Structures are given as structure tokens and as C-alpha cells.
């Protein structure tokens, strides 16, 4: 076997001066470690002992043998059973215990560990493997699905090396960041990138805010730390956007400031206590701003106030919340995070825009409550039409019950929309209840017509109730 070597051929007439000059040039192009490279290596070396591997094991389960959930991977009659079903009395095999791998980091020397909720969700046992390969059974102190954060505890018999949480509010887009974790089980893998964006909302929920980064994040990185160049954790790597399943440079990390709040709550009693105002809110779109006669499309527009909530009698429909405890509310997504991280029982100050004037309001933050309902939006016997391009029907007690709406909801039900109509363009849907148009309540089809007749040409502010939630829309009236 021959080995081909690359060589640099020199003319026979080359002088020693020429060779020396060439050698100097070659030496000059040989990359020596820069101060930046050394600083990065020092950072990784200093924080790596705090990064851990999470092994979550779920119990064995019986594999379904019928329907779309059928799964007999590797079974010789798998395709046949999938199409026609398994024979009666067939003993379905057991799927072995599922084992999930994730990452985490030591929050403090006492052995508290941060990872993702989805890494340990439904796990029967959780094991933490330290950077020196020692393993310990972990206790799940608590998890928060709404921010995808979990706190674990191990007893290592000694103090562990912990990381510092940085201030995620002061990071800037373009800053260098370092992700350390265990993608595909490859322990202590380091990837670098920058902060690509801040304040991302990736439909995780109203209480989670994400840093976007192009540092490579893959399966197994979940729960691992995202460091700034000072060695502080500024985020917990939680999700990627990928059409292929691998990293395409779109990774997302829960901000460290949210992690700090959630971890403190979970360590106290295993539960998260969230502040709550009791209002439904939405963004102020340019169309809504025009309909309301305000200049800027910023703030959170109050579309509904929950009865018995901290906001009852203080906030009103149509208020635009501009600040909360002196923190600006640029959009509706800002407010849940500001309120949710406020201690229950805190007296808080809001700046609102009401009837074109700013006002200072005070209220006491309550305890977050969750509610859900299955809504049937079918409505029959539509009897009236309007110039909005919709067909509407009275909201009777019978169809209010059928739609799952409370007794205090009043208005007319949209039973049909004309394609290309003003209402359709504004986003109204069949089953929406038109509660108010402009300043007038629309309790009957005739009331809706009267409200339309009194509106001038231009966008009209329409309050609708959709599946129990009230929102404003701006409808262009010709």
C-alpha cells in the first residue's frame, strides 16, 4: 500500500533566502491559539464539571394491537396485524422500559439539579450521572410544564460544583454563547454560537420566554445549560426547530430569569405559585389602534375581566395596559410573564390607557387559576343578516348551553359568513358571539344593525366571545 504525501515542490534554483522566506510564510499561516480561543477553552474547562447527564426510565407498557396505535416493530406479522388486527386472545408483547437521555446542571452545591420537565415527565426513576461518571438516584422535587423546567435533588455525600445564573434580560443579540450537554448520549459535548434573538414565543405557553441561538442543539441537549462568556447560565436548552430532526441552527432556551423564579418556587414546596390578574388580553394591532383612535399599537388590550378576579372593578374592557410595576408592556405576551413572576398578594401598579387618557391603577395580584372547557359551536336556525357579511342568530339559553357559554355572555351568534366579506377578512368565525360593536351592546340582530347604522366609514371595533374568551377585532366598514 502506498501513502501519497503532499509536498511543496521548489525550483532547483531557489536560494536559501527564498526557502527561508517561504518557511516564514508557512509559519505565519499556522494558526496559533488566540486569546479568545484560550478564554473559551478555560470557560468550558471551568463549567463542565457542573453539567450532568439525566437518565429517565419509564415503566414497560403493553403494545396496542388494534387501530392506529398499533405498534409491532420487528414482529414478523406486524404489517398483517396492523391492517387486519391481531387475532382474538393474542397476547400482546410488552415494550421494555423506555429510557430517555437529557442534560442538566448543578444549581447549587447541595445537589439541586435543573433540567427540562419533558425529560423527566412520567419517569418511574431518574438517575443523574456527573461529569466524573458517578451516578446517583435523583428525587424529582417538582416540575412546571408551563415553562418546561424541573428541579431534581441528589445526595452526592459532598458539595458539588454549581453554576451561577446570569441575568438574561441584559444579554444582547449577537453575543457569543456556549451550549454544553449530551446530544445523542455523547457526554460533555460543547457547541458554540450566538444569541440569534430574544423574547421568542414558540407556543410553549404564556409564561415561557425563550432565547434563540444558532449553537447546535440536538436530541439529548434538552435541559442543558446555555452559557454566556462569563460562564453564567443564561438559558436552559429546551427545544429546536427542525424539519429534519437534527440541528439546523434554530435552538431555543428558557431564559435564566424565568428559571430562577421557577426553581425557587419548586424548591420551596414543589409547586409554582403564579401571579394572576384575571383578564383576557390581546395585542393592539394597527387596525385596532385605528379603530380605538390611538396612535401606537403597543400594550396589552383587555378584552375581558373575570368575575371575582383581582381585576374586577378596577380594569375594564378596552383598557390598554402600558406598564406593570414600572415595567413596559410592549405586547400582550409581556404581561403574563411580568404578572406570573410576581409574588401572590403583591400590591401592584398598572398604567393603562382608558378613553384616550393614561391612568394609574392599583390592584393586588392573585393566585393563578386554570380552566378549560370543550365548546360546541354549532348553532341552528339563523334568522337575520347584517351588512358585515354575516348571518347571525339570537343567543338563546338553549344554544348558550349547547356552546358551553356562561349565563352572563350576551350577543348574537355568527352562523355563516360570506367569503371575502368584511367580517371574514377580519377573522370572524362561525360560532363567534358578537357582544359589542363600537360602544353599543349587540344583544339582538336588530341591535347589531342599529350599531352598524351608527358607525362611520372606517374600521369598527367589534368585541366577540369565542369559545368563552372575549377578544377585540377591527372590521372595516365601507
Q: Could you give the count of Cα atoms lying within 13 Å of 86 in the half-sphere of its Cβ?
A: 19
At residue 96, the pLDDT reads 56
Is pLDDT of 25 > 60?
no
Q: 391 burial class (0-12, 13-18, 19+ CB within 10 angstroms)?
A: buried
Percent of the chain with pLDDT over 90: 41
As a whole number of angstroms, the distance between CA 453 and CA 387 comes to 9
Partners of 360 in the β-ladder: 351
DSSP-derived letter for residue 86 is P
DSSP-derived letter for residue 48 is G
Decide which of 36 and 13 is more confident. Answer: 36
Q: Which region among 31-40, 140-149, 369-378 has the lowest average model confidence (pLDDT)?
A: 369-378
**pLDDT tier, 10 (very low <50, low <70, confident <90, very high otherwise):** very low
Q: Which region among 68-82, 200-214, 421-435 has the lowest average model confidence (pLDDT)?
A: 68-82
Domains (ranges, CATH) in the chain? 49-60+96-269 (2.40.10.120), 275-367 (2.30.42.10), 384-477 (2.30.42.10)
- 163: which 3 cell numbers? 453554576
**pLDDT tier, 390 (very low <50, low <70, confident <90, very high otherwise):** confident
At residue 65, the pLDDT reads 46
Q: Give me the mean pLDDT over the 162-191 stretch.
A: 94
Closest CA to 103 of 195, 227, 202: 227
As a whole number of angstroms, the distance between CA 9 and CA 19 comes to 11
User: What's phi and psi for 376, nearest 5 deg?
Assistant: -100, 110
Closest CA to 472 of 339, 211, 252, 284: 284
At residue 204, the pLDDT reads 64
What DSSP string describes 17-42?
HHHHHHHHHHHHHSPPPPHHHHHHHH
At residue 18, the pLDDT reads 45
- 244: which 3 cell numbers? 429534519
User: What does the pLDDT look like over 300-314, one tens digit per residue?
Assistant: 999 888 888 899 999
At residue 68, the pLDDT reads 41
**pLDDT tier, 364 (very low <50, low <70, confident <90, very high otherwise):** very high
At residue 127, the pLDDT reads 95
Q: Between β-strands 232-240 and 135-144, what pairing exists: parallel, antiparallel or unpaired?
A: unpaired
- Say if CB 64 and CB 201 are below 8 A apart: no
Q: Considering the chain, what is the average pLDDT of its residues?
A: 80
At residue 219, the pLDDT reads 86
Active site residues: 118, 148, 222
Is pLDDT of 52 > 90?
yes
At residue 146, the pLDDT reads 86
Angle at 202 between CA 221 and CA 231, to 5 degrees: 45
Residue 453, C-beta contacts closer than 8 angstroms, at least 6 positions apart: none
Q: Give me the mean pLDDT over the 179-191 stretch.
A: 91
At residue 466, the pLDDT reads 81
At residue 401, the pLDDT reads 60
Is pLDDT of 439 > 90?
no
User: What does the pLDDT look like over 273-301, one tens digit per residue?
Assistant: 889 898 888 889 888 888 888 888 889 99
- 224: which 3 cell numbers? 442543558
Amino acid at each position: 500500500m502506498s501513502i501519497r504525501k503532499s509536498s511543496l515542490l521548489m525550483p532547483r534554483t531557489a536560494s536559501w533566502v527564498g526557502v527561508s522566506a517561504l518557511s516564514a510564510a508557512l509559519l505565519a499561516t499556522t494558526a496559533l491559539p488566540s486569546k479568545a480561543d484560550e478564554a473559551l477553552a478555560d470557560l468550558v474547562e471551568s463549567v463542565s464539571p457542573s453539567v450532568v447527564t439525566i437518565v429517565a426510565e419509564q415503566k414497560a407498557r403493553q403494545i396496542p394491537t388494534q387501530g392506529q396505535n398499533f405498534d409491532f416493530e420487528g414482529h414478523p406479522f406486524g404489517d398483517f396485524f396492523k391492517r387486519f388486527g391481531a387475532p382474538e386472545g393474542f397476547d400482546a408483547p410488552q415494550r421494555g422500559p423506555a429510557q430517555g437521555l437529557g442534560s442538566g446542571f448543578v444549581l447549587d452545591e447541595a445537589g439541586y439539579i435543573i433540567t427540562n420537565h419533558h425529560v423527566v415527565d412520567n419517569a418511574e426513576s431518574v438517575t443523574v450521572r456527573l461529569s466524573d461518571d458517578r451516578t446517583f438516584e435523583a428525587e424529582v422535587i417538582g416540575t412546571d410544564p408551563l415553562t418546561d423546567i424541573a428541579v431534581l435533588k441528589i445526595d452526592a455525600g459532598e458539595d458539588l460544583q454549581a453554576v451561577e445564573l446570569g441575568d438574561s434580560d441584559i444579554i444582547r443579540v449577537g453575543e457569543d454563547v456556549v451550549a454544553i450537554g449530551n446530544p445523542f448520549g455523547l457526554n460533555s459535548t460543547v457547541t458554540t454560537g450566538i444569541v440569534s434573538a430574544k423574547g421568542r414565543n414558540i407556543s410553549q405557553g404564556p409564561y415561557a420566554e425563550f432565547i434563540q441561538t444558532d449553537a447546535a442543539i440536538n436530541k439529548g441537549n434538552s435541559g442543558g445549560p446555555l452559557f454566556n462568556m462569563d460562564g453564567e447560565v443564561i438559558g436552559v436548552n429546551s427545544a429546536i426547530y427542525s424539519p429534519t430532526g437534527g440541528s439546523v441552527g434554530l435552538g431555543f432556551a428558557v431564559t435564566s430569569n424565568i428559571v430562577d423564579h421557577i426553581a425557587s418556587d419548586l424548591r420551596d414546596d414543589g409547586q409554582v405559585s403564579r401571579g394572576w390578574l384575571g383578564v383576557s388580553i390581546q395585542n393592539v394591532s394597527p387596525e385596532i389602534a385605528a379603530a380605538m383612535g390611538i396612535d401606537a399599537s403597543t400594550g396589552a388590550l383587555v378584552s375581558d375581566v373575570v368575575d371575582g378576579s383581582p381585576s374586577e372593578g378596577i380594569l375594564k374592557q378596552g383598557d390598554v395596559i402600558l406598564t406593570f410595576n414600572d415595567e413596559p408592556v410592549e405586547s400582550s405576551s409581556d404581561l403574563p410573564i411580568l404578572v406570573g413572576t410576581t409574588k401572590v398578594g403583591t400590591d401592584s401598579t398598572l398604567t393603562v390607557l382608558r378613553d384616550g387618557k393614561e391612568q394609574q391603577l392599583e390592584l393586588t395580584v392573585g393566585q393563578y387559576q386554570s380552566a378549560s372547557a370543550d365548546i360546541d359551536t354549532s348553532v341552528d336556525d339563523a334568522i337575520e343578516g347584517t351588512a358585515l357579511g354575516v348571518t347571525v342568530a339570537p343567543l338563546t339559553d338553549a344554544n348558550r348551553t349547547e356552546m358551553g357559554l356562561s349565563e352572563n355572555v350576551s350577543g348574537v351568534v355568527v352562523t355563516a359568513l360570506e367569503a371575502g366579506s368584511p367580517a371574514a377578512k377580519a377573522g370572524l368565525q362561525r360560532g363567534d358571539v358578537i357582544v359589542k360593536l363600537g360602544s353599543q351592546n349587540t344583544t339582538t340582530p336588530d341591535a347589531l344593525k342599529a350599531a352598524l347604522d351608527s358607525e362611520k366609514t372606517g374600521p369598527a371595533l367589534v368585541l366577540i366571545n369565542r369559545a368563552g374568551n372575549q377578544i377585540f377585532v377591527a372590521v372595516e366598514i365601507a
